[in-house]
Structure 1
Amino acid sequence: MRIGIDLGGTKIEVIALANDGREHFRKRVDTPRHDYPKTLEAIAGLVADAEQATGERGSVGIGIPGTISPYTGKVKNANSVWLNGQTLDKDLASLINRQVRVANDANCLAVSEATDGAGAGKKTVFAVIIGTGCGAGIAINGEVHAGGNGIGGEWGHNPLPWLDDDEVRFQRDVPCYCGKKGCIETFISGTGFAHDYFRLSGIQHKGVEIMQLAEQGDPVAELALSRYEIRLAKSLAHVINILDPDVVVLGGGMSNVERLYSTVPLMLKQWVFGGECETPVRKAIHGDSSGVRGAAWLWPQVLV
């Protein structure tokens, strides 16, 4: 049995999977924000709950909104800031008396979808989270590609390529939380989409509300959405020119915009080198469950 933990800023979720991927147990609790010891206790409690409910002992994988530095062994780049600087894997391993595997939550999405989701059977999967923020993960042969610095897939903090005049103005006016300007995240996250609509209309709406307006034929909402599609296509073309993945999988709130799967693949050809691009762009099959499932799949499919 595999146990996966999705450690988020507001909730912690556990799942217990059989070797064939069937779900045996699931539970979530509120995250003890800004309290590292209580966060560890909450995770250990969820592992104990899963094992009590199933009567089995499992391997444990955890997805976090950051990564473990390969140099210091400590968490870095986590927006749940109380995790930064902590030896999360070692501390939890000591608490539950077994080895723990930790990966970035976007990498967990990639592993989940590569294992039994939209990228099943594909060698190289590039998985994108386009929600409040914007991140991505890479799975190669079903395993995380974290890279030598532990930041493989940090696509959202590269600059948007091939800027037009309006995008130049946008990047000047909207700095990214990371301290730089022009990051892909500021353009194609759900937050970036809503901000662009605000720039065009002067009205603040959530992404889902803007989509409803676009479906009703609102011209400003349609303009914001068409600009979003172009920016997403340019951003993905940049990745295809470097990594050339077998499939791109979209997760997060903006992945629910169904027209992206017909418009963006056609647009990719405008920016991919040579003009040839048949890379499929697919919606994550497991949706919001991909992160926690991917954490469970951090262990190999055949456990020894």
Structure 2
Amino acid sequence: MNTNGTSTPDAAAVGIDLGGTKTESILLAPDGGVLWRQRRPTPRADGYEAVLAVAAEMVVEAARNLPPGVPCTVGMGIPGSVDALTGLVRNANSTCLIGRPLQGDIERLLGHPVRVRNDADCFTLAECRSGAGKGYGLVFGVIMGTGCGGGICIDGMVREGPHRIAGEWGHLSVDPGGAECYCGKRGCVETLISGSGVEAAFFREHGYRLTMDEIVDRAREGEPRCREAFERFLDNFGRCLGGLVTILDPDAIVLGGGLSNIEELYTAGVERMRRHAFHDKLETPVLKNLLGDSAGVFGAAWIGKLQNT
């Protein structure tokens, strides 16, 4: 690899977005142009070593496309975080990563520094740099899909926090008597407004399974059970986001993940957010992402390049 560990404006940047189903790599030129991009299935069923090997291979392949003499940085977004004390991955939806020294392992394979951050941080940074959050001071980025995560960006810098959990609202317990979350608590935001959480609640209540897409489509058609589940989802969204706004008072909220395509979130969901926030004339904009599923990999590249993010 024609790389070094210095984060400078004239360096290129490799980004890896390590997701549960797909892993994506990108190589950005010093001016931000895309030089290389690739996607592969994430080999979760084959375990941690296979996931690590694919990620390292994709970094090497991307780096082969570097212009002669140009150094690069490497950043990786993961569905979890690296514990600052132990160096081990914690709180990962991709459970094969939990308890593993991912950052140290991939750095040893590559012989190069790698900056690892939560995928919601990467999403939020990307949307603030060149997406829906651009131009706002304090932005809360929300990923709503199979799980639910968040990131905080303040004046273009992602806030990680001393425990590396800033923005992790998906594991705020809002209903201690609610469904058990994989994190060990009950009634987490993720159990209420993620796709998997809504699907699980529907199964517990009615004894048969529907996907989130099916629940939404049938609710729009007026099917009573799905309509009830969808209305509860929108109310939970408003309650959870309203509490968040009361604490952070962000300049904007940007929604990402598969559920961000549900248009009712920006109408009925926002109205319920206003109802639950501690302000009678709340005007916080809730924005749909502009970068789609590209945000994570761009953010990972910039996380690797930027200092003090």
8 Å Cα contact 1:143/1:298 also seen in 2 = no
What is the aligned residue count? 293
Amino acid aligned to 1:230:
D
8 Å Cα contact 2:114/2:304 also seen in 1 = no
Amino acid aligned to 2:126:
S
- Given candidates 55, 60, 64, the residue that maps to 1:48 is 60
Partner in structure 2 of residue 215 of structure 1? 220
Q: How far apart, in 2, do the equivalents of 1:92 and 1:49 lie?
A: 14
8 Å Cα contact 2:76/2:304 also seen in 1 = no
8 Å Cα contact 1:250/1:281 also seen in 2 = yes
Give the secondary structure class of the aligned counterpart of 2:245: helix
Q: How far apart, in 1, do the equivalents of 2:219 and 2:49 lie?
A: 46
8 Å Cα contact 1:67/1:75 also seen in 2 = yes
Q: Structure 2: which 5+ runs fail to align?
A: 1-11
Amino acid aligned to 1:287:
G
Q: How far apart, in 2, do the equivalents of 1:84 and 1:202 lie?
A: 31
- Given candidates 28, 44, 60, the residue that maps to 2:39 is 28
8 Å Cα contact 1:200/1:224 also seen in 2 = no
1:35 Cα deviation from its structure 2 partner: 4.1
Partner in structure 1 of residue 285 of structure 2? 280
Q: How far apart, in 1, do the equivalents of 2:183 and 2:97 lie?
A: 17
Amino acid aligned to 2:53:
E
Instruction: Provide Cα deviations, 1:214-265, integer angstroms capped at 9, x if missing partner.
Output: 2323233222222111110110111111111111111122111012112222
- Given candidates 5, 27, 37, the residue that maps to 2:16 is 5
TM-score, normalised with respect to structure 2: 0.86
Give the secondary structure class of the aligned counterpart of 2:303: coil
1:202 Cα deviation from its structure 2 partner: 4.4
Amino acid aligned to 1:267:
R
Give the secondary structure class of the aligned counterpart of 1:270: helix
Give the secondary structure class of the aligned counterpart of 1:259: helix
Partner in structure 2 of residue 142 of structure 1? 156
Give the secondary structure class of the aligned counterpart of 1:241: helix
The reply on whether 1:86 has 2:100 as its aligned counterpart is yes
8 Å Cα contact 1:3/1:17 also seen in 2 = yes
For the aligned residue pairs, the C-alpha RMSD in angstroms reads 2.3
Q: How far apart, in 2, do the equivalents of 1:211 and 1:80 lie?
A: 26
8 Å Cα contact 1:19/1:301 also seen in 2 = no
Q: How far apart, in 1, do the equivalents of 2:94 and 2:208 lie?
A: 30
Structure 1 moving runs of 4+ over 4 Å: 199-202
Residue 215 to residue 18, structure 1, CA distance change in 2 (3 Å): farther
Q: How far apart, in 2, do the equivalents of 1:30 and 1:100 lie?
A: 21
